[in-house]
Structure 1
């Protein structure tokens, strides 16, 4: 980071945020001590207005702790959602001077001073000059990430490969995967983690542990409401990372739909972004298996009472039926369950 550059600025619609936006933000954050991001459009999206898109950005860049807000690396990210009603955002069709002066005046009202503008658009140099600051261009030719918000809105399915899974889900799309994903669901102490690991070993491939369990232990069981969306986001990222080294198939312990169930269980509500991630689980996974809660219950200090298993099992089955997701119930010993999964998937998918 250049210590002489204190605050960077990025402005945009982020409608929706895509990997090009994330490249811009991450490139900028590497060069400043603080990054200010303004999200706005006029007319704005009725379904996903600026305030919602700003929350997506905050969700994409939070870590295990929320105390210091979203960050990119060590750089704090300050995201502001602006609107025509509250902030006087000019129409998108307004001339360049009007657009530039609007931002200049908004910054002045907030008492903010920026040192550099980062952009991937042709307006960038003139905008920075109007503010009297430096300009840094990032992939304006779209050579690194060949996508735009316009393309993503027009065809979310085709653009999904350039969207983070959290964002893609809001548009009802799922990024393509290098290998099919198979997800194992089940109540607490139903053997799904053991089975997931055994399947990966039997098939010579990778598997993804349940990230919610990891964070639950890290926070000594004290999860916050915002942690549930973070769990789903981080688990999806870990799946994508593991998919790159998987052979033929990737086994996944739990999915966003189960995380949504826990959100309702603990907090009696669920973030709309998490609801959207749960809703596309039928598209994200090639096959869903549910572990019957018939193995001996093991209380490891993190689980609820054994009596809760039956309710959890029923809730999972109800949710799968609600979403119209086909599933296969597996029972018996670990060896028997491995055989049942391999038979259901077929030798072509899981052959070592």
Structure 2
């Protein structure tokens, strides 16, 4: 289907961005060639102001290539965070004031929109004021039964309607449909092999390390921003795999290890990635660490073997720092499978 060369507009608080907002944005993006998104509130959130929320949206829709900017499919997003310096009217102001503010702001920026998308009753009148058509998206909240007001009132209760990246910034973790068991370890410590063996033994699925996938796709040339993207995409792949799992989901690596690699390669770590690392203790039902005692395999993508011992120590230090209990597994693949099954049987009754 050929998308007409038109520009869409979505306006909202996005406080915080939730699955309903994502449905709105993704539905809109599928119908336009470019989507303009305005993020603002007055009064604004003191802890997560519009600029922060707009950045969350950019993170959510950052693709593999990164440099192309946020986009949904082939549709680029132009995301603007507005504040008091832009003349944002109070939330309690009448509809005409809000509509005229947006009209004048768009005119000052030289932005012409052709269609407005919203999930609110004010949408048709807003679009009429701007002289463009309106498209309603799930105003009844049947597809995604959540509102920003509900989310702000109790983010923990409505965490299932938050993307893992956004949930982590709020310090909450969406409940898992099945228990997730994560395996950490230095390079060439047998994580992938063990996950695959356990998935076969338990008749379920497992999630490979996405960082490895992107590392190979980019021929080893990862950028700083790639590390947060890796953690976000890995969390999404876990959620997708959970729907196919049976009883348990095995995961190779987590956001905490990705944060370690961010510090290792770039000597810094995005605060959003730090937040994702900090909730790993809640996200996984059990954490296992693979001892670096299996023969080292240099596949062209790994660092030197001598680095394994350092990596192993850093992982253990990080787990202790976050207060995450873990179980160390050693021996052959069969022995490790048996150790994991025995530990899960003892702690979870499996």
Bucket of the pairwise TM-score, normalised by the shorter protein: over 0.9
Q: How does 1:1-352 map to 2 (within 5 A)?
A: 3-4=3-4, 6-85=6-85, 87-346=86-345
Task: State the Cα RMSD in Å.
Answer: 1.4
TM-fit CA distance, 1:67: 2.6
Moved over 4 A (4+): 1-5, 347-351
TM-fit CA distance, 1:209: 0.3
CA contact (8 A) 1:117 1:135 kept: yes
TM-fit CA distance, 1:4: 4.5
User: What SS is found at the alignment partner of 1:346?
Assistant: helix
Structure 1 Cα separation of the partners of residues 206 and 292 of structure 2: 21
Bigger shift: residues 156-165 or 179-188: 156-165
Deviations 1:44-75 (A, max 9, x none): 11211111111111111121102321111111
CA contact (8 A) 2:207 2:250 kept: yes
**TM-score, with normalisation over the residues of structure 1?**
0.97
Structure 1 Cα separation of the partners of residues 147 and 281 of structure 2: 27
User: What SS is found at the alignment partner of 1:77?
Assistant: strand
Structure 1 Cα separation of the partners of residues 152 and 184 of structure 2: 32
User: What SS is found at the alignment partner of 1:158?
Assistant: coil
Distance 1:301 1:5, change over 3 A: closer
Structure 2 Cα separation of the partners of residues 172 and 222 of structure 1: 31
Deviations 1:77-124 (A, max 9, x none): 111111113x12111111211111111111001100000110001111
Q: Unpaired runs of 5+ in structure 2?
A: none
Q: Unpaired runs of 5+ in structure 1?
A: none
What is the number of residues matched between the two proteins? 350
Distance 1:80 1:234, change over 3 A: same
Structure 2 Cα separation of the partners of residues 153 and 315 of structure 1: 36
Structure 2 Cα separation of the partners of residues 224 and 182 of structure 1: 28
CA contact (8 A) 2:4 2:33 kept: no
**TM-score, with normalisation over the residues of structure 2?**
0.97
User: What SS is found at the alignment partner of 1:52?
Assistant: helix
Structure 1 Cα separation of the partners of residues 162 and 315 of structure 2: 28
Distance 1:190 1:337, change over 3 A: same
